[in-house]
Structure 1
Amino acid sequence: MLRSLYSGVSGMRGFQTKLDVIGNNIANVNTIGFKGGRVMFKDILSQTVSGVSAADENRGGVNAQQVGLGVSLAAIDTVHTAGSAMTTNVTTDLRINGDGFFAVGTTDQVDAPYLTRAGNFTLDANRNLVNAEGLHVMGADGGGPIVIPDDIVAFSISQNGSIMGVNAAGETVDTGQKIGVVKVVNPAGLEKLGGNLYQMTANANPDGAIEVTAAANPETGTGTIISGQLEMSNVDLTGEFTEMIIAQRGFQANSRIITTSDEVLQEVVNLKR
């Protein structure tokens, strides 16, 4: 069989995956805290027809003759650039201005919480600060789940994550709790779990360690917390539609390679009638 036939098949498979990623990006254009993906390709090991010969006193060197065998996926990266800010003026809506992730989980996940950039949090009936799926928002420095005290009439969240409240007497009090932020060395190494959640891996942080610290910490480089705002998706529709055109034309070009290879094989079959 012709090598070009299989090269065309590999190209179509690659561009199909690229279209899948683009489709997912566009579907999540309005998802809070979503980070878009991109597909990178690499060539498959080439077949050597003739090898290299070195130059000597009488003759110059000869380059190798190699035929490529197609394309394969090199990586599907998650691009962790910041999304635009959306102002909601809701106290429990939080946005991280800079690097870092919120830590959320169940009460038995204090040491290994999930990570998220989606800060659309609310208070449940027990005054726990939770996300849309009921997972607790973890406090800094091992503080555990954030719980707003019963004697607090109103509260606010500062840029370092401190929760300040106003009691019945109108006095401003510090609840002693801070919203936790996790710094990740390689955010692209996190594993997506769905529901705007990520899971720590050994390639995201050394040994997969999670340290929930306070925001605006110069030692760890965590960003500040902005209350009353949400981080929108970082998907750029203009770029996605452009990449869609490129992927579509690439798919069509590779299908043409298959069609042409088929016509060549048909001519070979028809040599003997």
Structure 2
Amino acid sequence: MLRSMYSGIAGLKGFQTQLDVVGNNIANVSTSGYKKSRVAFQDMMSQTIAGASAPTDIRGGINAQQVGLGSQIGAIDVIHTQGNRQTTNRTLDLSLEGDGMFVFASGTDADNFALADVNLAYSRAGNMYLDNNNYIVNANGEYLVGMNEAGNVGRIEIPPTASSFSIQGDGTVNYIDGNNQTQIAGQIMLAKFANPGGLEQIGSNMYRSTVNDGMIGVDGIPTLIVPESEGSASIVSGALEMSNVDLAEEFTNMIIAQRGFQANTRIITTSDEILQELVNLKR
């Protein structure tokens, strides 16, 4: 069989994956905190027909002769660039300006806990809510992690007697008590990663730590960082970070993937026609 036919099949698989990635990006163009992905291709191994030879006194060197055997997916990268800010004027809508991620915990009902004892997930999506017990949670019901009123790592509770509350750029959560006095309910903390592209996407705008994310912490447990310190992000209350998907770029990538897919089908068709001519030689 012809090598070109198998190269065409490899190309079809690669461009189909690229179309899948582009389609997912476009589907999440309005998803808060979503980070777009891209596909990087690399060539497969090449078949060596003739090896290279060194130059001699009477003859120059000769390069190797190799035929490539197609392409394959080299990487699917998640691009963690800053998304645009959308103003909502809702206090519990939080946007991060800079590096870092919100930390969420599940698997506990304690106000104070050790990070090693709970299930942790990370996100840039800042649409927060108050649950029935007045704790700050995300859309999945996971607790937003920070330093609570007692100064311990845990859930952040806004007392039901509070008449209003606000969130500062450094994550401090203030509220007005029944005596019209300003009190501190806690402080939202962040996690930072040297390689956020190494995080694993687990759906619902959430990420999970891996061995290659460059987490600032020890043994998979993050070191919580105060917003606006150590180069971490500032928190903007009343706004959401939108998806960083660029529709013009995605539609261009879709056209490239479509044409690449079509070109590889032509390779297969042409190879088939050549094989048909070879079969017809016996007539």
Is 1:264 the counterpart of 2:274 in the alignment? yes
Q: CA separation in 1, counterparts of 2:85 and 2:35?
A: 14
Is 1:139 the counterpart of 2:146 in the alignment? yes
Aligned match of 1:127? 134
Query: 2:35, 2:80 within 8 Å by CA — same for their partners in 1?
Result: yes
Aligned match of 1:15? 15
Letter in structure 2 aligned against 1:99: D
Q: CA separation in 2, counterparts of 1:126 and 1:99?
A: 31
Is 1:184 the counterpart of 2:196 in the alignment? no
Query: 2:199, 2:207 within 8 Å by CA — same for their partners in 1?
Result: yes
Q: CA separation in 1, counterparts of 2:226 and 2:160?
A: 23
**CA displacement at 1:6 relative to structure 2:** 0.3
Distance 1:87 1:243, change over 3 A: same
Is 1:199 the counterpart of 2:208 in the alignment? yes
Q: CA separation in 2, counterparts of 1:32 and 1:249?
A: 31
Q: 1:29-83: CA deviations, max 9, x gaps?
A: 1111101100000000100000010001111100000000000000000011111
**CA displacement at 1:85 relative to structure 2:** 0.5
Deviates further, 136-145 or 62-71: 136-145
Runs of 4+ with >4 A deviation: none
Q: CA separation in 1, counterparts of 2:233 and 2:189?
A: 11
Distance 1:3 1:142, change over 3 A: farther
Query: 1:110, 1:142 within 8 Å by CA — same for their partners in 2?
Result: no
Letter in structure 2 aligned against 1:268: L
**CA displacement at 1:142 relative to structure 2:** 5.4
User: Pick from 158, 178, 188: which aligns with 1:168?
Assistant: 178
Q: How does 1:38-187 map to 2 (within 5 A)?
A: 38-108=38-108, 110-111=115-116, 112-140=119-147, 143-175=153-185, 177-187=186-196
Secondary structure in 2 matching 1:56: coil
Q: CA separation in 2, counterparts of 1:174 and 1:134?
A: 23
TM-score by length of 1: 0.96
Q: CA separation in 2, counterparts of 1:186 and 1:129?
A: 28
Query: 2:115, 2:221 within 8 Å by CA — same for their partners in 1?
Result: no
Aligned match of 1:247? 257
**CA displacement at 1:170 relative to structure 2:** 1.4
Q: CA separation in 2, counterparts of 1:39 and 1:245?
A: 14
Query: 2:92, 2:129 within 8 Å by CA — same for their partners in 1?
Result: yes
Aligned match of 1:29? 29
Secondary structure in 1 matching 2:38: strand
Letter in structure 2 aligned against 1:110: L
Query: 1:114, 1:198 within 8 Å by CA — same for their partners in 2?
Result: yes
**CA displacement at 1:205 relative to structure 2:** 2.1
